[in-house]
Amino acid sequence: MHRLAATPGGWTPDTDGVIFVEQTPAPIVFLSAADTEIQTLSRAVTLLPQGFPAIRAANLLQLQQQLTIDTYAETVLAQAEVVVVRLLGGQSYWSYGVEVLQTIADRTPNLGGESGPKLILLPGDDRPDPDLISRSTVSLAIANRLWRYCCEGGIENFYQGLLFLGQQYFGRPERPAAPQPVANVGRYRWNASAGLTAVESGVGPGV
């Protein structure tokens, strides 16, 4: 069984003290400011095959203070093999965090052959951000495909996105399907006599 350790919620500047995100390390880490994405990821994780690498997720709103970011980077991010970050507002939204991640990702392999994680920086919406994506340490093709999974949204796309990461970086045998459009607008027709609801939905990008 696969389990996702996730930290939702947010931090406000008026909060006293420093917030620490307590998680154990995992091969894959997913960061987003959207609780809905973290919840969708959590559902997708339950569909993963036996032996798939463990995943951790955290809300970026919990990672706003520099000490919080430094501590989380040392205890979780530096131990990961792949780190995916969805940033709404570009690099400037979480500039210190991006700087820390780039330092970790650029780490020179030590005597044990361990190097920094693969870093995948993606826009938090469906608007291209070449500057942000270019800061990733993976190919543009890989980053763009993973971004499409996230933009289309839905449990199935997140599931296929995870399989894609497994295939690319962990030698998994699963063959992920291409990102599939998810309806973001639906028309509901209520049949009072039947007590049933019919749905007609259009196809388009959904997050």
Rounded to whole angstroms, the Cα distance separating 96 from 54 reads: 26
Phi/psi of residue 136, nearest 5 degrees: -70, 160
pLDDT, average across residues 17-37:
93
- Asked if pLDDT for residue 115 goes beyond 90, the answer is no
- Residue 60's Cα: distance from chain center in Å? 11
Q: Is 191 helix (H, G, I), strand (E, B) or coil?
A: strand
Rounded to whole angstroms, the Cα distance separating 58 from 99 reads: 18
Distant-in-sequence, close-in-space partners of 178: CB < 8 Å, separation ≥ 6: 160
Least confident interval from 105-114, 161-170, 181-190: 105-114
Residue 11's pLDDT is what? 44
Residue 17's pLDDT is what? 67
Note the pLDDT tens digit of each residue in 32-91. 999 999 999 999 999 999 999 999 999 999 999 999 999 999 999 999 999 999 999 999
Q: Is 162 helix (H, G, I), strand (E, B) or coil?
A: helix
* Per-range mean pLDDT, top range of 5-19, 35-49, 180-194: 35-49
Distant-in-sequence, close-in-space partners of 75: CB < 8 Å, separation ≥ 6: 23, 25
- Asked if pLDDT for residue 106 goes beyond 70, the answer is yes
Q: Is 77 exposed, middle or buried (0-12, 13-18, 19+ CB in 10 A)?
A: buried
| Confidence (pTM) | 0.81
Helices (H), the chain: 35-45, 66-75, 95-105, 130-133, 140-152, 155-169
- Asked if pLDDT for residue 112 goes beyond 50, the answer is yes
**Structural domains in the chain?**
4-180 (3.40.50)
Helices and strands (H, E) in the chain, number of each type? 6, 7
Question: What are the structure tokens assigned to 206, written together?
Answer: 């959904």
Residue 109 confidence class, pLDDT cut points 50, 70, 90: low
In contact, 38 and 59? CB cutoff 8 Å: yes
Question: What are the structure tokens assigned to 170, written together?
Answer: 């962990």
Q: Choose between 151 and 187: higher pLDDT.
A: 151
